[in-house]
């Protein structure tokens, strides 16, 4: 493992959203608090293709901290290809104000309602397709320590055969992976063989509980078909953040989130874009949101953290298309572009964010994790900051 503990103060600064205004037809809502400061306090890496308790570690797409036990939970986006769909528990340690260690301590498979593991996706001729989950988000319920996780579902629409569709989901589970329930989705988030609803691999990417445990908040990675095109170098886009009642599971509100344009021009025909990869709640209406973009062919990544405020944003719950009328998106303020951090050895496919414990000086730790896509040219990183204003 390697560690970098160079400290770099990153002061929150305003972000120009002219491209988003052009997409939405409205200015973003005014925020009421943007005083967040981050100090970079270290990076740890896990060995590539590390073997652990009968699994190959990789695809770590989200992270969530349990303040009561001190454990971290990490979800792998393995679609039951190298092993059953699963998650890991870990310890992340700090000393002297720096990140000093990151160690996996356990793993469990996600279980279906009948208690079995998830098989890989298969489409046998003349039979009903088996659709594996695409695990992306994980969050610890602060009320009881149980887990919630998201799957992006599946959408395969061939030109000469039946479509293979699997809805995204938000499921509850125990800390050993047993199924304990599923939350309802807004109707716009169900998969469709027509060009409406979510795009493939661009659905429920992030999930978080508010600190009081009363609300569960999810983020779509990119726009629904009817909400507009994905971000390009020329323009941003609008995706959706949904607020659920954590106890009943019912959606309570939904807001448009303004995505930044792509940072580079991807190759023709690629699916490279910019999207929300995770979020963590700071309160009922304040969040840190992680946007991640890539040009996969050149292994080039960009990850940016934004402070997001829901105050004054339009509630679009029930609206089929964000193009149906004026929309005031949530307000966002740039906190950090990871490419600008001195001492950080690289920026890989950073996909997960959580709040960790407080340091002795009272600052809250913020921990990020990267998804190596099970690729030898990529890396699993744990990146830590100390935060003021949280």
Model pTM above 0.85: yes
Query: In this structure, is the dihedral angle defined by the CA atoms of residues 308, 309, 313 and 315, taken in order, positive or negative?
Result: positive
**How far apart, in whole angstroms, are the C-alpha atoms of residue 298 and residue 266?**
9
**How far apart, in whole angstroms, are the C-alpha atoms of residue 349 and residue 335?**
18
Q: Which residues contact 322 (CB under 8 A, 6 or more apart)?
A: 24, 223, 226, 227, 228, 238, 240, 256, 316
The maximal CA–CA distance of the chain, rounded, in angstroms, is 63
| pLDDT tens digits, 308-363 | 999 999 999 999 999 999 999 999 999 999 999 999 999 999 999 999 999 999 99
| pLDDT tens digits, 86-129 | 999 999 999 999 999 999 999 999 999 999 999 999 876 667 77
Rounded to 5 degrees, what are φ and ψ at 226? -75, -10
């Amino acid at each position: 493992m390697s560690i970098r503990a160079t400290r770099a103060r990153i002061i929150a600064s305003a972000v120009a959203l002219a491209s988003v205004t052009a997409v939405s037809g409205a200015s973003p809502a005014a925020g009421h608090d943007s005083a967040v400061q981050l100090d970079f306090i270290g990076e740890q890496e896990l060995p590539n293709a590390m073997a652990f308790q009968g699994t190959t570690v990789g695809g770590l797409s989200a992270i969530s901290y349990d303040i009561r036990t001190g454990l971290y939970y990490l979800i792998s986006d393995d679609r039951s290809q190298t092993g059953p769909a699963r998650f890991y528990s870990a310890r992340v340690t700090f000393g002297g104000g720096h990140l000093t260690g990151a160690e996996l301590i356990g793993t469990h498979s996600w279980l279906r309602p009948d208690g079995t593991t998830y098989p890989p996706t298969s489409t046998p001729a003349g039979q009903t397709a088996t659709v594996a989950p695409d695990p992306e988000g994980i969050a610890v319920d602060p009320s009881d320590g149980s887990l919630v996780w998201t799957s992006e579902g599946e959408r395969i629409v061939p030109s000469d055969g039946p479509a293979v569709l699997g809805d995204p989901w938000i499921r509850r589970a125990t800390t050993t992976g047993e199924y304990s329930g599923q939350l309802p989705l807004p109707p716009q988030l169900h998969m469709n063989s027509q060009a409406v609803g979510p795009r493939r691999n661009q659905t429920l990417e992030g999930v978080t509980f508010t600190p009081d445990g009363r609300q569960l908040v999810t983020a779509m990675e990119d726009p629904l078909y009817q909400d507009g095109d994905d971000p390009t170098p020329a323009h941003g886009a609008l995706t959706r953040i949904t607020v659920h009642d954590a106890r009943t599971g019912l959606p309570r509100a939904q807001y448009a989130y303004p995505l930044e344009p792509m940072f580079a021009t991807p190759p023709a025909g690629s699916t490279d874009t910019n999207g929300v990869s995770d979020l963590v709640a700071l309160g009922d209406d304040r969040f840190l949101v992680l946007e991640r973009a890539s040009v996969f062919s050149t292994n080039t990544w960009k990850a940016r953290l934004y402070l997001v405020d829901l105050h004054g944003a339009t509630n679009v719950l029930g609206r089929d298309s964000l193009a149906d009328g004026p929309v005031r998106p949530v307000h966002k303020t740039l906190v950090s572009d990871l490419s600008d951090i001195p001492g950080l050895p690289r920026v890989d496919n950073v996909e997960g964010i959580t709040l960790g414990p407080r340091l002795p000086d009272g600052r809250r730790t913020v921990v990020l994790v990267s998804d190596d896509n099970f690729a030898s040219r990529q890396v699993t990183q744990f990146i830590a900051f100390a935060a003021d204003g949280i």
